[in-house]
Structure 1
Amino acid sequence: MNQLASTGPVAVIGAGAIGLSLASALARTGRPITVCGGRTPIDHIEITEDGVPQSRPVRHVTDPAAIAEHTTAVVAVKAHHTPTAADWLRALARPEVTVLVAQNGVEHRERVLPYVGPARIVPSVVYLNVERTQPGHAILRRVGTHDVAVPDDADGVALAAELNAGGIRTSTEADFTTVAWAKLLTNITANPLTALTGRRAEVMRDPEIERIGRRIMAEAVEVGRADGAVLTDEHIDRAMHWLQHVPEGSTTSMREDRLAGRPLEHDALTGAVARAAERHGIDVPANRFVLALLSAIEPEVTA
């Protein structure tokens, strides 16, 4: 059983805001960090929290063969970019490797399994609000009592212990399905509505936007229940309260991608609701409307 007692290097596939934050935490525990690919080579990462920057050295590699001996990895590319990381993921396709999937949505395992095969897949729900300011640099804002949630199996527990030691408040969850769907409620509202309006998270305090958001969530609660999640209307209230009380200036990754002209992550979020709804024969008109709007947005630059 892999208890992750190793002090070996951690491969980070996707040095965006979330990947940088998790890498920084693991670096605090003494783990060397290997940043995989990317357009801009970096030799350190810098996370600023409460105005205080912390810098950690990293190794940057461009050849997937360079991580052939790594036994721990963090996959933090946007969900829709997973296929572009295929060569890196295939380098991890070994039974002794643990892969933390730090992506949005509820399809973590299904998304990476075709590439990593026998590796140990640990899905995660990330609550951190992080904004990348330049390559290797990000501003971290914490919301609520936990930063990350993982399943409470052996590999999840081991990773949680490391992340907690590095300052990332990580919980282990017996009912990870419900936790993932509950987080999806926030993602399918805040991400699309900030991207479509161009406003930061404070837009969720607008009464009409709140009404639309609650309708989107209500549809997803019905679908989530059919998919095995234990969801109630209270989850909608909690999600909306959370969104309306995030730190001032908070943004979403989809808004930032929209403003930068990059492809959007809507398929892993609203698309996941639509696919599950189709499987269970449930009508989700609000989510399909939002999905159609997001799908019609054409990226202006290459991701």
Structure 2
Amino acid sequence: MTTHSNSRPIAIIGAGAIGLSLASAFARTGHPITVCGGRNSFGRIEITENGISETWPVRHVTDPAEIVEPVTAIVAVKAHHTDAVADWLRAVDHSESTVLVAQNGVELSDRIAPYIAAAQIVPSVVYLNVERTAPGRAVLRRVGDVDLALPDDEVGAALAADLRAGLMRTSTEADLKTVAWSKLLTNITANPLTALTGRRADVMRDPEIGNIARQIMAEAVVVGRADGAALTDQHAERAMRWLQSVPEGSTTSMRQDRLAGRPLEFDALTGAVVRTAERHGIDVPVNRFVLALVAAIQAEDIA
């Protein structure tokens, strides 16, 4: 059985905004932090919240062979970069290790499973709004009452308690599938709509954009129900209220990626809705339209 003592190393696979924020909660309770690979080397992480910055030292390793003991790994690379970190995933695949998957979408365990044979995979649903400002640095904005949802089992509860001690607001959920689909409703609207318009998350308060978002969500609710999630129209309305209440200046990862000319994470979001709809024979014209638009942006940025 995996353990989560304060001396257990934390390995960050994907030291972007989410990875840094989760690592900071573990660091706050005394866990040593190791950053795995990446283009930039840094010796500390810095998280700024409400204008106040805190820093913690980190160890940076560049060779997967340097991971030699059981760890709690945070997998926070974008979904479409999962294959690129396969060597790091295999390096943390130890029978006493835990792999916390902090990615977007509803296919988390399936996405990681090809690389993990022995470690415990723990999917999660992340609600943090974080903006990476420099290597090792991020600005954290909290939205709603929960920062991270985890499965309601022994390992999930242990991780939730550990993170909570580090001031991360966690919950454990018996029906994480419904929670994940509910969160997907926000991701398939805010991410592509901010990327397409170039505006920050306050664009969701625009009435016409709000109408488009509701159409996107309505289709996804039908698809999610067909996939076994207990979604209702109220989930969509709650998602809209949440999106329209995010702090001023909040952004999305897809908007940031478009501005930086990086690949966009649309396949794990809108692509997942369209794939699931196809499996169940459901027509989702608005989601297909959004997927085509975002894919066209991607093709233009790569050209």
Please indicate the TM-score interval, normalised by the length of the shorter structure: over 0.9
Code of the residue aligned with 2:33 in structure 1: it is I
In the other structure, the counterpart of 2:254 is: 254
Identical pairs, percent: 72
Cα deviations by residue, 1:47-106 (Å, 9 ceiling, x for unpaired): 000000000000000000111313211000011100000000011222211000000000
Q: Which moved more, 1:12-21 or 1:289-298?
A: 289-298
8 Å CA contact retained: 1:2, 1:154: no
Return the offset for 1:6: 5.5
1:160 corresponding residue in structure 2: 160
**Aligned counterpart, 1:211:** 211
Moved more, 174-183 or 4-13: 4-13
Q: 1:261·1:299 contact (CA, 8 Å) conserved in 2?
A: no
Alignment of 1:274-289 (within 5 A): 274-289=274-289
Give the drift of 1:3: 3.7
Paired residues in the alignment total 302
Cα distance, 1:172 vs. partner?
0.2
Residue type of the alignment partner of 1:62: T
For residues 142-186 of structure 1, what are the alpha-carbon distances to aligned partners after superposition, in whole Å with 9 as ceiling and x for unaligned? 000010001011111110011000010010000100000000000
Secondary structure (helix, strand or coil) at the match of 1:70 reads coil
Name the stretch that deviates more: 276-285 or 91-100. Answer: 91-100
CA distance in 1, matches of 2:300, 2:83: 18
2:267 match: secondary structure: helix
| Structure 2 unmatched runs, 5+ | none
Aligned to 2:77: 77
Residue 262 of structure 1 aligns with an amino acid whose one-letter code is R
Partner of residue 273, structure 1: 273
Q: Output aligned runs, 1:125-140, within 5 Å.
A: 125-140=125-140
Q: Match for 2:193: what amino acid? A: L
1:22: Cα distance to partner?
0.4
Aligned 8 A contact 1:223 1:273 in 2: yes
Residue equivalent to 1:39? 39
C-alpha contact (below 8 Å) 1:125/1:150 kept by paired residues: yes
Q: Which structure 2 residues correspond to residues 195-206 of structure 1 after superposition, within 5 A? A: 195-206=195-206
Q: CA deviation at 1:7?
A: 1.5
For 2:148, the equivalent position in structure 1 comes to 148
Task: Provide the secondary structure at the position in 2 that maps to 1:111.
Answer: helix
What is the TM-score when the length of structure 1 is the normalising length?
Answer: 0.98
CA-to-partner distance for each residue in 1:223-263, whole Å, 9 max, x for gaps?
00011111111111100000001000000000000011100
1:203 counterpart letter in structure 2? V
CA distance in 2, matches of 1:7, 1:62: 22
Which amino acid is 2:11 matched to?
A
RMSD: 1.2
Once the 2 structures are TM-superposed, how far is the Cα of residue 131 of structure 1 from its aligned partner? 0.2
Match of 1:176 in 2: 176
Pair 74,299 (structure 1): closer, same or farther in 2 beyond 3 Å: farther
Moved over 3 A (4+): 299-302
2:166 and 2:172 map into 1 onto residues whose CA distance is 16
CA distance in 1, matches of 2:31, 2:302: 35
CA shift for structure 1 position 114: 0.3
AA in 2 matched with 1:13: I
Counterpart-to-counterpart distance in 2, 1:281 and 1:198? 33
TM-score, structure 2 as length reference: 0.98
2:221 aligned residue: 221
Alignment map for 1:222-237 (pairs within 5 Å): 222-237=222-237
- More displaced 10-residue stretch of structure 1: 6-15 or 39-48: 6-15
Task: Decide whether the 8 Å contact of 1:277 with 1:284 is kept in 2.
Answer: yes
SS at match of 2:230: coil
Unaligned segments of structure 1, at least 5 residues? none
| Structure 2 match to 1:25 | 25
